[in-house]
Amino acid sequence: MSRIALITGATSGIGKATAEAFAGAGINLILCGRRQEKLESVVAELAQKVKVTTLLFDVRDKKAVFDAITSLPEEWKNIDILINNAGNAHGLGSLDEGDTDDWDAMIDGNVKGLLYVSKAIIPTLIANKKGHIVNISSVAGKQTYINGAVYCASKAAVEVLSEGMRLELTQHGIKVTNVAPGAVETEFSLVRFKGDEERAEKVYQGFDPLQASDIADMILYAVNAPARVMIADVTILAGAQSAATTIYRK
């Protein structure tokens, strides 16, 4: 029987690419995000290949998360794979000058949102004695950089939550994979710099950045690995990147 994956942040970037990779592998999809028109266009692209449904919610809204996931029809309830991908950086600023609304968006979305979605789904995985959770962390969760402390802290929390989930869930037959990408060319920098296209483009200039599909390939590998294999933690950097902020540009 085909597996069911719920992917948060499926409207763009890594989440959308993962949806495309999963559809190619025959995995049915519950696609989540806040931008309805973007979700609809992903559905239009993939519904020929697999069954697809959507849930529209902001991961920061606890009630909306639980209402959306409990509202799933019976045929969609037995989720096999959860991809905790929704998240962003908001701003790049020092701790004395940073915008506290940006901090709220990062901590509430990247950390608490991931927790709410996980809590809504983990009981089903435990009851079914199987499943796989993939948390999208970042190299920024392993290495702190100047002016990025709050984003880095939010991703360091994801790293710890991946470990905590693995410690608690392995006994129930559930795998947990932490994926920590480096510089991936998505809408990430456009969001971080609040729509400033020129500044966002500069992030990816002078080297060949990772593409969202590179990360999706890794995620698909992890969820397709044999039962005896748990891909626990993977860092994927761009070829010209040796650390979070060390990138060799031409």
Closest to 74 measured CA to CA, from 124, 36, 111: 124
The structure tokens listed for 194 are 């609040």
- Closer residue to ligand 8X3, CB minimum distance, 138 or 162: 138
Q: Does 88 bind ligand NDP (CB under 6 A)?
A: yes
One-letter amino acid identity for 26? G
Taking alpha carbons only, the member of 147, 173, 174, 247 closest to residue 205 is 247
Query: Which one, 22 or 171, has the nearer CB to ligand NDP?
Result: 22
CA-closest candidate to residue 219, choices 154, 131, 133: 133
Question: 28 or 135, CB closer to ligand 8X3?
Answer: 135
Residue 191 binds to ligand NDP (criterion: CB under 6 A): yes
221 catalytic residue (yes or no): no
Is residue 18 a contact residue for ligand NDP (CB under 6 A)?
A: no
Is-contact 8 219, C-beta < 8 A? no
The active-site residue, picked from 116, 145, 151, 204, is 151
Contact residue for ligand NDP among 3, 4, 5, 12 (CB under 6 A): 12
Residue owning tokens 């710099």: 193
Q: Which of 23, 82, 176, 183 binds ligand NDP (CB under 6 A)?
A: 183
> Minimal CB distance to ligand NDP: which residue?
13
Cβ(26)–Cβ(2) under 8 Å? yes
Out of 28, 110, 135, 138, point to the residue binding ligand 8X3 (CB under 6 A): 138
Query: 23 with 51: CB under 8 angstroms?
Result: no
Q: What is the 8-class DSSP label of residue 112?
A: I
- 4 lines the binding site for ligand NDP (CB under 6 A): no
CA distance readout (Å), 25 to 17, 77, 222: 13, 20, 13
Least distance to ligand NDP from the beta carbon of 250, Å? Answer: 19
Q: Which stretch binds ligand 8X3 (CB under 6 A): 9-17, 119-127, 132-140, 157-165?
A: 132-140
- Residues engaged in binding ligand NDP (CB under 6 A): 8-15, 33-35, 38, 58-60, 85-88, 109, 113, 136, 138, 181, 183-184, 186-188, 191, 212
